[in-house]
């Protein structure tokens, strides 16, 4: 809780600064990418993710359902479990040892399971598609 | 249990939750001569700090540029030592009943371990609620819970001569595999992968039992259970290859860690707002006089779920608590730097 709240605050002020000083469109790598969350009922929600933040933070800021993120991004609770769309598995990469250990606490774990607090938004993830499980906690 | 009055533990304050807000409550109340009993469902102090991020650095505790969740907990425990709080771990407060009046509150609390407390004031410092075992999404599993599906072992005898399926790869799963093996008829350990994050000596002990043919190990997940009237007959194992198989068993123990649930707090008759307890910002008192809510569990305009906010809240709440506990004493505001009275209480004068 504690870490999540401060994290969100820091992110908001960063965003304000970026807007104020004007990120030039088309200049350099994109700072925002599109991420689509498909819920367990099949409903898709596309949101903008900011490069450098995590996919979990992106989900929470956009009120994506089925992402609990109880621990606030400490890789300590396995309640931001997602399934990475096959086409994106290579780009998102493999779970670290710590993340694999924590995935033991998630339900219905599949080979494409990840904890989305451990996926950092990068320009090459523009278009990323993830599915959320029906039960996190 | 029937002689409630006789069995009750008498105290000035019961603090529900041993996280940072609960621990610092002991300090602020202690400076005002208010004696505390602290109850927490976890086996140790620290709450989320020690449960979720013991090794993670915290950067926003005033005066401490960086410390881990565990270091903060250890320091708080050291800081409250002079006040000798009594801790009751592995216990959850189930009921909170008001016995007194608005001017002279008094409460009776009971825990799931059967303890009864009588207190003049109550501090609810329960954070995100109580940490409870995560329940796997197996249809109808709740109808077996407590009879043949268990998330903890209360009595080893429940497992004697039973076929037991244990799910998980951490310390709880392996410890109970090792401890129940001599008692149970047969143990089958189920895990989603062949790596275990449990302590290395537990892992090797488990592998020795497996090599000796004394336990079974299966890769996969349990997706369904079968049985009648709460008594299990079998569990459906879905292997990592997708093939389903029935494991005959009378006991199932899933170990998927802990999650935070508001729990019994919701039934204490307090006004709630989205699972948080509204308080005023002068005394941090709830809708019920004598019951205070501090830390992450309370809500008020502008609330920030920060540890430092919890510290501020308990200091102010303690002032009002003093009026309930010592209605005839005038409270003199003092500093620990200069008050010999406070220094005596801290054992430093």
Q: Do B221 and A6 touch (CB under 8 A)?
A: no
Of A6, A70, A78, nearest to B260 by CB-CB distance is A70
Indicate if B135-256 has the same CATH topology as B4-131+260-345: yes
For residue A60, is it within any domain? yes
- Paired strand residues for B15: B38, B123
- Angle, in degrees to the nearest 10, between helices B20-31 and B69-80: 20
**Which residues from B are below 8 Å from A117, CB to CB?**
none
pLDDT tens figures, B77-117: 999 999 999 999 999 999 999 999 999 999 999 999 999 99
pLDDT tens figures, B128-176: 998 889 999 899 999 999 999 999 887 899 999 999 999 999 999 999 9
Q: Do B58 and A100 touch (CB under 8 A)?
A: no
- Interface predicted TM-score (ipTM): 0.73
Q: Do A78 and B257 touch (CB under 8 A)?
A: yes
For residue A137, is it within any domain? no
pLDDT tens figures, B246-288: 999 999 999 998 888 899 999 999 999 988 999 999 999 999 9
What are the residue ranges spanned by the domains of chain B? 4-131+260-345, 135-256
Element holding B259 (H helix, E strand): strand B258-261
Domain span at residue A48 reads 2-131
Q: Do A2 and B134 touch (CB under 8 A)?
A: no
The pTM score is: 0.77
CATH classification of the domain holding A45: 3.10.20.30
Q: Do A104 and B168 touch (CB under 8 A)?
A: yes
For residue A56, is it within any domain? yes
Task: Say how far apart CA B128 and CA A105 lie, in whole Å.
Answer: 19
B4-131+260-345 fold: FAD/NAD(P)-binding domain (3.50.50)
Closest-CA distance of chain A to residue B45, Å: 17
For residue A136, is it within any domain? no
Nearest residue in chain A measured CA to CA from B167:
A104
Three-point CA angle B220, B226, B227, nearest 5°: 145
Homologous superfamily of B135-256 in CATH?
FAD/NAD(P)-binding domain (3.50.50.60)
Using a CB–CB cutoff of 8 Å, tell me whether B263 touches chain A. Answer: no
Amino acid A27: pLDDT: 55
Task: Say how far apart CA B338 and CA B324 lie, in whole Å.
Answer: 26
pLDDT tens figures, B111-138: 999 999 999 999 999 999 988 899 998 9
In tens digits, what is the pLDDT along chain A, a chain of 137 residues?
444 444 333 333 344 333 333 344 555 677 999 999 999 999 999 999 999 999 999 999 999 999 988 888 888 889 999 999 999 999 999 999 999 999 999 999 999 999 999 999 999 999 999 999 998 87
Residue indicated by tokens 């700072």: A31
For residue A64, is it within any domain? yes
Q: What is the DSSP letter of B26?
A: H
Contact call for residues A118 and A93 (beta carbons, < 8 A): no
Contact call for residues A30 and A50 (beta carbons, < 8 A): no
The two tokens of residue B210 are: 């497996």
- Coil, helix or strand at residue B236: strand
How many domains does one find in chain A?
Answer: 1
For B200-220, give the DSSP string: HHHHHHHHHHHHTTSSEEEEE
Average pLDDT, integer, range B230-248? 95
Amino acid A28: pLDDT: 66
């Amino acid at each position: 809780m504690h870490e999540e709240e401060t994290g969100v605050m820091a992110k908001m002020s960063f965003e304000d600064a970026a807007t104020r000083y004007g990120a030039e469109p088309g200049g350099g790598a994109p700072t925002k990418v599109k991420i689509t969350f498909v819920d367990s009922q099949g409903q898709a929600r596309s949101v903008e993710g900011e490069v450098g933040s995590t996919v979990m933070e992106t989900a929470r800021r956009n009120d994506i359902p089925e992402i609990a993120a109880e621990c606030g991004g400490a890789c300590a609770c396995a309640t931001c479990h997602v399934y990475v769309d096959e086409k994106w598995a290579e780009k998102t990469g493999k779970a670290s040892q710590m993340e694999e250990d924590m995935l033991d606490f998630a339900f219905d774990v599949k080979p494409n399971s990840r904890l989305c607090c451990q996926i950092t938004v990068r320009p090459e993830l523009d278009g990323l598609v993830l599915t959320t499980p029906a039960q996190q906690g | 249990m029937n002689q409630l009055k006789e069995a009750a533990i008498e105290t000035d304050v019961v603090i529900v939750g041993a996280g940072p807000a609960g621990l610092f409550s002991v300090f602020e109340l202690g400076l005002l001569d208010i004696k505390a009993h602290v109850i927490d469902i976890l086996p140790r102090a620290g709450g989320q700090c020690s449960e979720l991020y013991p090794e993670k650095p915290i950067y926003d505790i005033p005066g401490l540029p960086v410390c881990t969740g565990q270091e903060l907990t250890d320091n708080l425990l050291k800081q409250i030592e002079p006040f000798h709080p009594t801790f009751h771990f592995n216990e959850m407060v189930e009921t909170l009943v008001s016995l007194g009046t608005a001017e002279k509150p008094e409460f009776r609390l009971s825990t799931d371990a059967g303890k009864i407390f009588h207190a003049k004031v109550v501090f609810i410092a329960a954070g995100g609620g109580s940490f409870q075992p995560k329940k796997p999404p197996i249809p109808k599993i709740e109808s077996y819970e407590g009879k043949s599906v268990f998330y903890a072992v209360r009595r080893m005898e429940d497992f004697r001569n039973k076929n037991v399926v244990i799910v998980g790869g951490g310390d709880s799963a392996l410890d109970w595999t090792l401890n129940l093996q001599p008692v149970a008829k047969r143990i089958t350990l189920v895990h989603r992968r062949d790596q275990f994050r449990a302590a290395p000596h537990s892992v090797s002990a488990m592998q020795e039992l497996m090599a000796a043919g004394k336990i079974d190990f299966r890769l996969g997940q349990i997706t369904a259970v079968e049985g009648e009237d709460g008594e299990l007959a079998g569990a459906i194992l879905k292997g990592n290859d997708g093939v389903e198989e029935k494991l005959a068993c009378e006991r199932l123990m899933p170990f998927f860690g802990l999650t935070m649930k508001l729990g019994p707090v919701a039934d204490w008759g307090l006004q709630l707002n989205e699972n948080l307890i509204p308080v005023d910002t002068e005394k941090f008192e709830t809708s019920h006089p004598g019951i205070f809510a501090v830390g992450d569990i309370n809500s008020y305009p502008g609330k920030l779920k920060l540890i430092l906010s919890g510290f501020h809240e308990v200091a102010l709440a303690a002032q009002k608590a003093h009026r309930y506990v010592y209605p005839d004493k005038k409270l003199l505001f003092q500093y620990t730097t200069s008050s010999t009275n406070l220094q005596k209480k801290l054992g430093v004068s």
